[in-house]
Amino acid sequence: MRIDGKAVLITGASEGIGAACVESFRRRGARLSLVARSEEKLKQVGGAGAVITAGDITLPETRETAVARTLERHGTIDIVVNNAGVGLYSPSWRASIDETRRMYELNFFAPLALIQLVVPYMRANKSGMIVNVGSVAGKMTLPWFTLYSTTKFALGSLTSGLRMELRNDGIQTMVVCPGYVKTRFQTNVIDGHPPDRLLRGRKFAITAEQCAEAIARGVERDARTVVTPAYSWIYIALHRLFPSLIDAQLAAIYHGESAAK
């Protein structure tokens, strides 16, 4: 899909991958509509030309306002980037159910609800793209991130199902599976901490800008799945071919951290 001139709605747009997406899509000539909690940050990121909706994307009124403002300014919604999300490092067997529900509300139900709002307009135009920012953890479960992984598996499955449901409506869907990205994601998790070995591997992480460029290029080539950095496909493939071996290695990382405590 050509991005130039398209109306693009981005959630979680005030920092990290979302803010980097704003710049990547702006450079390609997109007309922007941005959603996040901080109005001040959105104004800094979006500049004078973007539609700004400050609020909690898990609330119906925020989603409805964002869609209405985008349609009022741009007349259409061509691309939705469901980027807002949060992590939870607590072990699944003792994690707070309330905190888990909170994570699901942001990582899965908010994207689904926003999709349900915008798809009728896309169907009317016989065109559009839905981009859901998942994770490598949505391709292979990470034991320090078990419950987070389930939200991203669900989002990936939703993306695939929508593609089939909307096949005759000219609407495309794409799931994005980043690996370790240099953002404040780890410090903004609901609860818990990642293993020390994972933190030490941060030097191999990509930047938010690199991730955003991969997303924009994926939209341009009508990709179904974007894994970034691309070498993460190797780990995904190895997990599919040798699941017991990779599970054992991931468990060793996880339990090594637990033993240190």
pLDDT tens across the length of the chain (261 residues): 999 999 999 999 999 999 999 999 999 999 999 999 999 999 999 988 899 999 999 999 999 999 999 999 999 999 999 999 999 999 999 999 999 999 999 999 999 999 999 999 999 999 999 999 999 999 999 999 999 999 999 999 999 999 999 999 999 999 999 999 999 888 889 998 877 776 665 667 899 999 999 999 999 999 999 999 999 999 999 999 999 999 999 999 898 854 444
Three-state secondary-structure class, residue 29: coil
- Structure-token pair, residue 155: 């989002």
Q: Which of 104, 194, 82 is nearest to 150 (CA)?
A: 104
Catalytically active residues, by annotation: 148
- Structure-token pair, residue 259: 């033993």
Whole-number Å distance between alpha carbons of 149 and 83: 15
Predicted confidence at residue 260, as pLDDT, reads 40
Domains assigned to the chain: 7-233 (3.40.50.720)
Whole-number Å distance between alpha carbons of 249 and 182: 23
Cis peptide bond prior to 60, omega within 30° of 0: no
Find out whether 118 and 68 touch, Cβ atoms under 8 Å.
no
State pTM to two decimals.
Answer: 0.94
Predicted confidence at residue 194, as pLDDT, reads 78
Find out whether 207 and 182 touch, Cβ atoms under 8 Å.
yes
**H/E stretch holding 69:** helix 60-74
**H/E stretch holding 207:** strand 206-207
Find out whether 14 and 83 touch, Cβ atoms under 8 Å.
no
